[in-house]
């Protein structure tokens, strides 16, 4: 018998398990795959031994906020180390422009000033407004979105009172579209294009209202910087798993859960596809909300309102996702006309998208289920900062390449199974036009098409954010009202993972917040049980009838 069973060993499931185990709970984590990490894992390239890539997730942008998950769990004791690239990405323009997005804000503003003094000034202003807004709401993001702590509310009110003007403008930025903000603040493509391209993680067109939320990543870049775990993204989840077991928890792989068992109206444990059963008072689904409510739970136990909400869940509603290519290179790419006078740190991540019109044309095609020769690309060589990702003494590199605005469902009955190679070849040709000889240096590649996120990693509808980051699915409504605050409508069944509050991305915040809520509730549950036991004993004494006096004999009887 366990205190808590967690279904899914993604980074949020493991984070949740680590906090619970550290608090003394008997925890079991069950993972369907043969490796922990979910989408945060690292693999060695089959045809390039010693070259390691991260097939799904790679960047940690908002995790530097303290107290962070890794510092609270002391993951350094379990081998976790970090490297800190100096740049996020560098935009290569059609006319030889080079704009590195440095972590050092002043240095980046200096880069922008080469093209426009006004844009440089406005960039600083925009970052101030976004950072103020993010810092104001940060206490809210660290707790239960449905029942925030009074201290968090007071802290937010105090910050808002001091920063009313910036906060007002920053909130408007996040409620606007990316396109609106880029056009309002900037005149030059050197600023607009890289900002808009990087923000395509919103899985929506740049003209979508509310997509400005993704510009919060700018605050993450300049406040805490980008960071990567040494040894790949999987080093982070391996350290989390080690933390769980170090505190007495158990982690089982190749353990696919078939059903969360409900008895007497509450969770009692889980049943695996191989027939094994494990029992616990609390079961946490560290999976997407569709999987939790419609696959792991018998619908007979789920209220109709919750099923209706999950049917209406917005997930990749614009038919736009990302296509990912990971690979090993025999030599480092060069960029004639772009890299003169640039240190390698400015060339570790590239954005290839000539202008805003190019970006919008690719989005319009994706909406109709198509792609053409214009694909916005982000290319990153993580091994430039972490040489453990390549064999000792190698002159090569590993890379990952995102093709943005990739349609999820293709038009005219086409499938990614047949179109995958054409898409890859188009991306490689685009990159070759900036870096001649790049294709000849490829030793091996690994491809993840939009549909592979569902087929390989069992993520419903292929959305690795689980629920679109739109205003109606944020805060107290994330991912749907029935699962807000990490609870489900069924006692003892909980929810965490990328779809839970506050947001997706590699942070561990949903897992940490869910663990805190489970601990708070179980403490209250124990307290109520203790009170009931005490009151039950007292009331038995109170209702016990006093001993009746001996009846007096009738008169005349002796």
Concatenated DSSP letters of 263-315 = ETTEEEEEEETTS-EEEEEEEEE-S-HHHIIIIIS-GGGS-HHHHHHHHT--S
Calpha distance 228→153 (Å, rounded): 32
Give the DSSP letter of residue 391: -
Give the DSSP letter of residue 294: I
Q: 26 with 2: CB under 8 angstroms?
A: yes
Which has the closest alpha carbon to 223: 125, 346, 132? 132
Count of other CB atoms within 10 angstroms of residue 230: 17
The helix-helix angle for 117-141 and 150-162 (nearest 10°) equals: 160
Count of other CB atoms within 10 angstroms of residue 339: 17
Calpha distance 9→29 (Å, rounded): 6
Calpha distance 201→100 (Å, rounded): 19
Q: What is the pTM of this model?
A: 0.92
Is residue 10 classed as helix, strand or coil in its secondary structure? strand
Q: How many CA atoms lie within 13 A of 31 on its CB side?
A: 22
Q: 521 with 266: CB under 8 angstroms?
A: no
Burial of 406 (0-12, 13-18, 19+ CB in 10 A): buried
* Distance from the Cα of residue 146 to its chain's centroid: 20
The residue with tokens 């007292």 is 538
DSSP assignment of 154-206, as one string? Answer: HHHHHHHHHTHHHHHHHHHHHHS-HHHHHHHH---HHHHHHHHHHGGGGSS-T
Calpha distance 184→10 (Å, rounded): 39
**What beta strand segments (E) does 334-487 contain?**
349-352, 377-380, 397-407, 442-448
Q: What is each CA distance from 100 to 86, 162, 216, 223, in whole angstroms?
A: 9, 33, 18, 17
Which has the closest alpha carbon to 93: 234, 28, 2, 188? 188
* Distance from the Cα of residue 252 to its chain's centroid: 23
Structure confidence at residue 540 (pLDDT): 38
Structure confidence at residue 532 (pLDDT): 64
The residue with tokens 């769980």 is 244
DSSP assignment of 57-123, as one string? Answer: ---B-STTSSSPHHHHTTGGGGT--EE--SEEEEEE-TTS-EEEEESSHHHHHHHHHTT-HHHHHHH
Q: 223 with 131: CB under 8 angstroms?
A: yes
Structure confidence at residue 536 (pLDDT): 65
The residue with tokens 């509450």 is 266
Calpha distance 41→58 (Å, rounded): 9
Burial of 303 (0-12, 13-18, 19+ CB in 10 A): middle
Which has the closest alpha carbon to 41: 206, 253, 295, 303? 253
The residue with tokens 């379990």 is 78
Calpha distance 416→21 (Å, rounded): 42
Q: 323 with 416: CB under 8 angstroms?
A: no
**What beta strand segments (E) does 286-319 contain?**
none
Calpha distance 418→415 (Å, rounded): 6
Structure confidence at residue 469 (pLDDT): 86
Calpha distance 140→138 (Å, rounded): 5
Calpha distance 50→48 (Å, rounded): 6
DSSP assignment of 322-355, as one string? Answer: EEEEEEEESS----TTT-TT--GGGGSEEEE---
What domains can you pick out in the chain, each with its CATH number? 2-81+229-314+467-521 (3.50.50.60), 86-225+320-407+409-449 (3.90.660)
Q: What is the mean pLDDT of each run of 10 residues along the chain (558 residues)?
A: 97 98 98 96 97 87 82 97 92 93 95 97 96 91 92 92 90 93 96 90 87 85 89 96 98 98 97 98 97 97 97 94 96 88 84 96 96 96 95 96 96 96 98 96 97 93 91 93 97 97 91 97 75 55 40 38
């Amino acid at each position: 018998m366990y205190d808590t069973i967690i279904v899914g060993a993604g980074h949020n499931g493991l984070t949740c398990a680590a906090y619970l185990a550290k608090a003394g709970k008997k925890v079991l984590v069950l993972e369907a795959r043969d490796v922990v990490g979910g989408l945060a894992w690292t693999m060695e390239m089959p045809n390039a031994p010693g070259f390691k890539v991260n097939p799904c997730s790679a960047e940690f942008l908002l995790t530097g906020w303290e107290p962070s998950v890794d510092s609270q769990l002391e993951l350094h004791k379990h081998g976790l180390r970090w490297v800190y690239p100096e740049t996020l990405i560098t935009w290569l323009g059609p006319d030889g422009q080079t704009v590195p997005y440095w972590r050092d804000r002043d240095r980046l503003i200096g880069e922008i000033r080469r093209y426009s003094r006004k844009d440089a000034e406005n960039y600083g202003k925009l970052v101030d407004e976004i950072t103020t807004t993010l810092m104001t709401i940060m206490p809210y993001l660290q707790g239960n979105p449905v029942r925030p702590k009074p201290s968090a509310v007071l802290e937010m009110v105090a910050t808002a009172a001091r920063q009313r003007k910036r906060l007002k403008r920053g909130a408007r930025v996040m409620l606007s579209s990316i396109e609106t903000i880029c056009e309002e603040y900037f005149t030059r493509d050197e600023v607009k294009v890289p900002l808009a391209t990087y923000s395509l993680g919103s899985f929506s067109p740049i003209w979508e209202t509310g997509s400005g939320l993704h510009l919060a990543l700018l605050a993450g870049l300049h406040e805490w910087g980008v960071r990567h775990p040494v040894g790949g993204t999987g080093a982070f989840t391996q350290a989390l798993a080690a933390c769980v077991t170090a505190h007495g928890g158990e982690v089982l792989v190749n353990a696919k859960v078939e059903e969360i068992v409900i008895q007497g109206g509450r969770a009692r444990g889980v049943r695996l596809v191989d027939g094994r059963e494990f029992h616990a008072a609390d079961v946490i689904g560290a999976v997407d909300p569709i999987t939790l409510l419609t696959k792991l739970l018998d619908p007979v136990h789920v209220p109709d309102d919750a099923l209706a909400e999950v049917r209406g869940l917005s997930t990749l509603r614009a038919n736009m996702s990302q296509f990912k290519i990971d690979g090993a290179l025999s030599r480092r790419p060069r960029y004639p006309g772009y890299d003169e006078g640039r240190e390698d740190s400015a060339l570790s991540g590239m954005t290839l998208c000539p202008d805003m019109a190019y970006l919008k044309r690719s989005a319009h095609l994706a909406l109709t289920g198509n792609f053409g020769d214009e694909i916005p690309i982000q290319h990153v060589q993580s091994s430039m900062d972490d040489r453990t990702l390549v064999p000792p003494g190698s002159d090569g590199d590993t890379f990952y390449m995102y093709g943005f605005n990739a349609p999820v469902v293709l038009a005219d009955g086409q499938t990614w199974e047949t179109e995958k190679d054409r898409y890859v070849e188009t991306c490689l040709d685009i990159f070759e036009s900036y870096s001649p000889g790049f294709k000849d240096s490829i030793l091996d590649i690994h491809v993840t098409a939009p549909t592979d996120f569902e087929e390989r990693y069992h993520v419903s509808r292929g959305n690795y954010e689980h629920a679109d980051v739109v205003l109606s699915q944020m805060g107290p409504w994330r991912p749907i009202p029935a699962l807000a605050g990490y609870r489900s409508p069924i006692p003892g069944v909980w929810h965490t993972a990328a779809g839970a509050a506050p947001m997706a991305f590699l942070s561990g915040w949903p897992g940490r917040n869910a663990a805190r809520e489970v601990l708070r509730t179980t403490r209250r549950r124990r307290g109520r049980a203790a009170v009931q036991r005490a009151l039950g004993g007292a009331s038995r004494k109170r209702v016990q009838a006093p001993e009746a006096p001996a009846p007096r004999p009738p008169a005349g009887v002796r």
